Amino acid sequence: MSNQWFIKGVKKGILTEGFPQLPPEKPPLRPSLLIGSSNFKCPVGALDENKWNPEKCIFCDKCSMEMHFTGDQKLFKINRKMNAFKRSLYIYIIDSGTCGACNAELFNIFSPQYDANRYGIFLTNTPRNADVLVLMGVETEGMKSVLEETYESMPEPKCVVKMGTCAIGGAGIGSKISSLEPDALIYGCPPSPYTILEALIELKGDKP
Amino acid sequence: MRYYKFNVRDGYYIGETRQFSIYEKGMIRRDEPLERLQIIPKINDKNHFNFQYGPATGGLIESLDFKIITNGEAIKGIVVNPYVKSRTMRCLNKTIDECLLLVERINGYHSASHSIAFLSAVEDALNIDIAEGTYYGRIVILELERIRSHLLVLKRMCEPAGFGVPMYQLSYINEIITRIISDISGHRYFYSTNKLNRVDVDFGLLSSYIQTLIKIKREFENIFNGLLESKIFINRLQGNGLIKDDPLIGPAARAAGFKRDARSNISILPYKELNFEPIIFNEGDSFGRFYIRGLEISQSFDLCINALERAEQSEYNYSNNFSGEGAARLESPSGDLFYYVNIDNGLIKDIQMSSPSYLNLKSFIKSAINTIFTDFHFNFESFGIWVSEVGVEFI
């Protein structure tokens, strides 16, 4: 009986998909790269002078008459590659004011379909062991000092990733965003596991 | 208001909004502020000390601030601050569509429940009859959301036990459900799927997934039965976090033997036409809550497939300048979720919400007294609490 789970696990075989070497098997339509131009009055101001701004976009589909979702999951921007973390990257998460969807998607990169561990990406329970601080959600009063203390207690070298529209552009929710300078931005509301995984691999200077 | 009456304390207690105490069939204005979520030991034992847990910790999905009063092993008291990540939502004086974008981001994991409860309150204010296909379409997506949410709870309960294989197998199924949701609605969390009298879902495509759903249901039942056979796992849950008295709602209430399920006791969605009967168990501990959720996953697969036959997309062109007030309640995966709206010339003048997580958190701290810290996570996860929906202020 004690080894029943081991046998059940082995019987299932390898369930991990070929992404990112192969294209995503089931990319979501939203969020994905948006193309086109539109005069539509975006409810969160993500269309500035007809140009799409992924930092503010909540992928609500309201502009889809003129704009087009491509399904492309490359929705991130790396400001500084962290080659020091090429072999392993330990993530500490701060939820400063999310709806919970970003949190769930970040945990999803460790599900068998994506298996982020194979790229040396791990979660850590303490900022003392962390290489990267993943910040999710709008800045809230109660979490402001927690965020500052967490960042201060991380060892050098360290980096910051802002994940999700709330953390990057506020997502139209009536609160502020953190002033921490990000080394990477992962767009989406919430970003899909494909986007998060590829962004973290690229951040650590690894090849997919 | 068709579903709710003011100044009526009828039925079981549902929770609190900013100004009202909510019951099964009525709402009463509350003058006092909400009581603090805390239990402090009556005897001031000098051996007790405070242990800070959270708000940022790897053990919890979301930020939550616990001050645990302990003698070293047993939990003797708890003070919870669920407002540590309180968000403000700019909903007042906004149109229904603008407000909906924010409402579905109150709790992303239960976005369909929040948007449908809000829209039902608006439809109540409008006093309009909803197309039958929309009702069944809403049941389909609510049950898909329930399956995914319950799967996450069971997965999170496997984690502290070190049961890696079932945990990853449940994650795998969870991701398949999420991908089906994404395929049929265009979004993995049902954002921008619900509208007034409309569900933007490709029901034809979902019909082609029926065999997949049946296969996943069988796969889930194998994992669930395997967990039920595991004495090591069950021992961690039985007797842990026992609570059998109020305030209880949702799966926690049904696990403790209360027949409380908004799906059976309100007429807002036609669950009765699908011969729905709530599943009841008579253990109010973490095991009871685990067991109820497992059985409800199988039940939700059947409800989803049955409702799909009658689900369809409808259109409703509403006027932009209506006024009225409405209230509605539905069964979210964690329990009763309630919305009240007051609309003036098409703009939101007042919006209030009672989330199941507030009451579940209250029940959790009550149940955690005299348990030991190693049992804490099993107990906490078994309630399916989402902090994001507790601390929301509408401005």
CA B74 to chain centre: 29
Give chain A's domains with CATH numbers.
76-203 (3.40.50.12280)
A175 touches chain B (CB under 8 A): yes
How far is Cα B233 from Cα B267, in angstroms, rounded to an integer? 39
For position B231, which CATH number holds?
Answer: 1.10.645.10
- Angle value at C-alpha A52, between A49 and A55, nearest 5 degrees: 115
Residue A30 with chain B: CB contacts under 8 Å:
186-187, 191-192
Number of other residues whose CB lies within 10 A of the CB of residue B86:
19
Residue A126 with chain B: CB contacts under 8 Å:
58
DSSP annotation of B130 reads: P
pLDDT of A175 above 80: no
- Report CA-CA distances (Å) from B83 to A139, B80, B368: 13, 9, 20
Provide the b/e sequence for B365-385 (b: ≥16 CB within 10 Å).
Answer: bbbbbebeeebbbbbbbbbbb
Q: Looking at CA atoms only, how far is residue A87 from chain B in angstroms?
A: 22
For chain A, how are helix, strand and coil distributed in percent, rounded to 5?
Answer: 25, 20, 55
Q: What is the pLDDT of residue B341?
A: 96
**How many domains would you assign to chain B?**
1
Asked if residue B28 is part of any domain, the answer here is no
Asked if residue B286 is part of any domain, the answer here is yes
Largest Cα–Cα distance of chain A, in whole Å? 65
Closest listed residue to residue A150, CA positions, set A125, A170, A168: A125
A189 touches chain B (CB under 8 A): yes
Residue A140 with chain B: CB contacts under 8 Å:
84-87
Contact B288, B255 (CB under 8 A): yes
Retrieve residue B151's tokens.
Answer: 């799967």
Determine the residue type at B30. Answer: R
Contact A156, A103 (CB under 8 A): no
Asked, as a colleague might, if the bond just before B82 is cis with ω within 30 of 0, I would say no
Sorted by sequence, the CB contacts under 8 Å of residue B287 that are 6+ apart come out as: B234, B237, B238, B239, B240
Asked if residue B158 is part of any domain, the answer here is yes
Residue B62 with chain A: CB contacts under 8 Å:
95, 98, 100, 103
B54 touches chain A (CB under 8 A): no
pLDDT in tens, A2-23: 578 899 899 999 999 999 999 9
B85 to A143: CB separation less than 8 angstroms, yes or no: yes
Number of other residues whose CB lies within 10 A of the CB of residue A189:
28
B62 to A28: CB separation less than 8 angstroms, yes or no: no
How far is Cα A191 from Cα A183, in angstroms, rounded to an integer? 17
Q: Which residue has the tokens 């959600």?
A: A137
Q: Which helix (H) or strand (E) holds B361?
A: helix B356-368
Number of other residues whose CB lies within 10 A of the CB of residue A187:
26
Which of 68-107 (B) contact A at CB < 8 A? 81, 83-90, 97-98, 101-102, 105-107
Q: What is the pLDDT of residue A1?
A: 53
Pairing of β B13-16 and β B65-70: unpaired
Closest listed residue to residue A58, CA positions, set B297, B191, B82, B391: B191
Q: Which residue has the tokens 């009202």?
A: B20
How far is Cα A99 from Cα B381, in angstroms, rounded to an integer? 17
Positions of chain B with pLDDT lower than 70, given as ranges: 43, 316-318, 320
CB-hemisphere CA count at 13 Å for B258? Answer: 22
How far is Cα B395 from Cα A167, in angstroms, rounded to an integer? 20
Residue B165 with chain A: CB contacts under 8 Å:
5-6, 8-9
Residue B169 with chain A: CB contacts under 8 Å:
8-9, 12, 112
Asked if residue B51 is part of any domain, the answer here is no
Q: What is the pLDDT of residue B219?
A: 96
Q: What is the pLDDT of residue A51?
A: 86
- Angle value at C-alpha B359, between B354 and B361, nearest 5 degrees: 125
* A21-25, Cβ contacts within 8 angstroms, sequence gap of 24 or more: A21/A208, A24/A73, A24/A194, A25/A113
Contact B252, B335 (CB under 8 A): yes
Q: Which of A92, A96, A111, A176 to mutate to test the interface with B (most CBs of B within 10 A)?
A: A111
Asked if residue B54 is part of any domain, the answer here is no
Closest listed residue to residue A151, CA positions, set A177, A170, A171, A179: A179
pLDDT in tens, A116-157: 999 999 999 999 999 999 999 999 989 999 999 999 999 999
- Angle value at C-alpha B108, between B102 and B111, nearest 5 degrees: 75
How far is Cα B30 from Cα A74, in angstroms, rounded to an integer? 50
How far is Cα B107 from Cα B62, in angstroms, rounded to an integer? 11
Asked if residue B7 is part of any domain, the answer here is no
Residue B163 with chain A: CB contacts under 8 Å:
5
A190 touches chain B (CB under 8 A): yes
Contact B307, B318 (CB under 8 A): no
Beta bridge partners of B327: B340
Q: What is the mean pLDDT of residues A177-182?
A: 85
Which of 144-163 (A) contact B at CB < 8 A? 146, 150
Q: Looking at CA atoms only, how far is residue B272 from chain A in angstroms?
A: 31
Asked if residue B357 is part of any domain, the answer here is yes
What domain range includes position B122?
87-394
pLDDT of A176 above 80: no
In total, the C-beta contacts within 8 angstroms joining chain A to chain B are: 174
A175 to B163: CB separation less than 8 angstroms, yes or no: no
Asked if residue B31 is part of any domain, the answer here is no
